[in-house]
Amino acid sequence: MKVLNINTQQNNYNIYIEKGILKNIGQLVRKIYNNRKILIITDSNVNSLYGVQIRASLAAVGFDASMVVLEPGENSKSFNVLLDVYNEMICSEISRSSLIIGLGGGVVGDLSGFAASTFLRGVPFIQIPTTLLAQVDSSIGGKVAVNLPSGKNLVGSFYHPVAVYIDPEVLGTLDKRFFSDGMAEVIKYGAIKNPKLFNQLSAGREYVLENIEDIIYNCCSIKKEVVERDERDFGERMLLNFGHTIGHAIEKYFDYSTYTHGEAVAMGMHSITEMSEKIGITQQGTASSIKNILMKYNLPWELPEIDSQKILRTILIDKKNLGGTLNLILLKSIGESTIYKLNTHDSENFFDFGRFKN
Ligand SMILES: NC(=O)c1ccc[n+]([C@@H]2O[C@H](COP(=O)([O-])OP(=O)(O)OC[C@H]3O[C@@H](n4cnc5c(N)ncnc54)[C@H](O)[C@@H]3O)[C@@H](O)[C@H]2O)c1
Ligand SMILES: [Zn+2]
């Protein structure tokens, strides 16, 4: 079993990574939680695959675990669903000495973490992430949130779990598109911080599946280091947004329906690197290395046809555009990233959407 210790101002906890770890989840939770009551929050896909097994494992060591099962998908990260979850917490008599488990992808993790952080001003919380994206990204770092009709993740908090249990075996049931989606974030970690990881990924999907424990561990380690140094996302943590400025704008432009988050980030990483190569910040050939890796994981690299003015406006109203300056994450080369402060007056020159210009 691989163990990664996360040391934050809020608490100190471990991420445990091992194939098959969920089979012993009851015993593992027993080591860190002495009371009886647990509320598991999950979605119906994950419940039908793993719900019975996990509940049985928890019951076998004497836990009284009830369950809230959400509809799968981003729509569940809403205030209405949050209210249902609070009601279930009351029905299940959850107190501050109970435990909440978020079992699922990033949607379940973000919503259950936010519910845990706010109910009775905070109930202990465990993450069991079941998508690749959740295992390498959303379950680490303590960001929990729900969406508002006017935007994603607009209401949230920083709330760290008391433990994270990652079982890479559950990725076997994940839809291929969701696997690629998570791979975009894995590629991002290599691109911003770890050239060795980036090069290993060129070996392709089979290599990744064979070495999945190590790869997840490496990604979690990178996020751990960055988050520990900048918990509140004012500095170095912004590096994790590589590819996300254009990526978020693309997701929004297409109403969150055409591209997954990872696909949009993939195009964002490639296109911003083409732009930064042009202004001489990035070593020539870097965009092409990114393109080659994205293609290996069935991720798009070329921007679709877009109205360049409209996408630029979307970029400029992003919440990370602070006081006339846009913090762009650029690569100097593969494995070395930097925060580049772009005056918004220069944004039209920088964001050269090339052949899509109207
Ligand atoms: N908190 C953070 O730091 C952070 C970071 C990145 C993304 N996010 C959030 O994460 C969310 C996206 O997460 P996601 O991509 O995991 O989506 P998701 O939670 O919707 O999961 C994707 C799909 O996979 C299914 N699924 C989950 N695990 C499965 C498994 N093992 N086998 C089969 N099917 C499975 C789910 O039911 C769902 O249909 C977004 O809301 C995003 O804002 C948060
Ligand atoms: Zn992302």
Q: Which ligand is nearest to the CA of 127?
A: 1
Query: What mean pLDDT, rounded, does the chain reach?
Result: 95
Work out the pLDDT band at 358, boundaries 50, 70, 90.
very low
Residue 107 in contact with ligand 1 by CB distance below 6 A? yes
Q: Which of 110, 220, 232, 260 to mutate to test the pocket of ligand 1 (most atoms within 8 A of CB)?
A: 110
Phi, psi of 205 (to 5 degrees): -55, -40
Q: 77-93 burial string, b = 16+ CB within 10 Å, else e?
A: beeebbeebeebbeebe
* Tens digit of each residue's pLDDT (9 = 90 or more) over 134-174: 999 999 999 999 999 988 999 999 999 999 999 999 999 99
- Indicate the DSSP class of residue 215: H
d(CA 325, ligand 1 centre) in Å: 31
Work out the pLDDT band at 234, boundaries 50, 70, 90.
confident
Phi, psi of 133 (to 5 degrees): -60, -45
- From the list 321, 305, 316, the residue with the least C-alpha distance to 351 is 316
List, in sequence order, every residue forming a beta bridge with 337; answer none if it has no partner. 331
Nearest residue by C-alpha to atom 10 in ligand 1: 106
Pairing mode of beta strands 12-17, 125-129: unpaired
Q: State if pTM tops 0.85.
A: yes
Q: Are 55 and 81 in contact (CB under 8 A)?
A: no
* Tens digit of each residue's pLDDT (9 = 90 or more) over 293-335: 999 999 999 999 999 999 999 998 875 666 788 999 999 999 9
d(CA 224, ligand 1 centre) in Å: 20
Q: What's the rounded mean pLDDT across residues 263-280?
A: 97
Q: Are 41 and 103 in contact (CB under 8 A)?
A: yes
Residue 135 in contact with ligand 1 by CB distance below 6 A? no
Q: Which atom of ligand 1 is nearest to the CA of 140?
A: 3
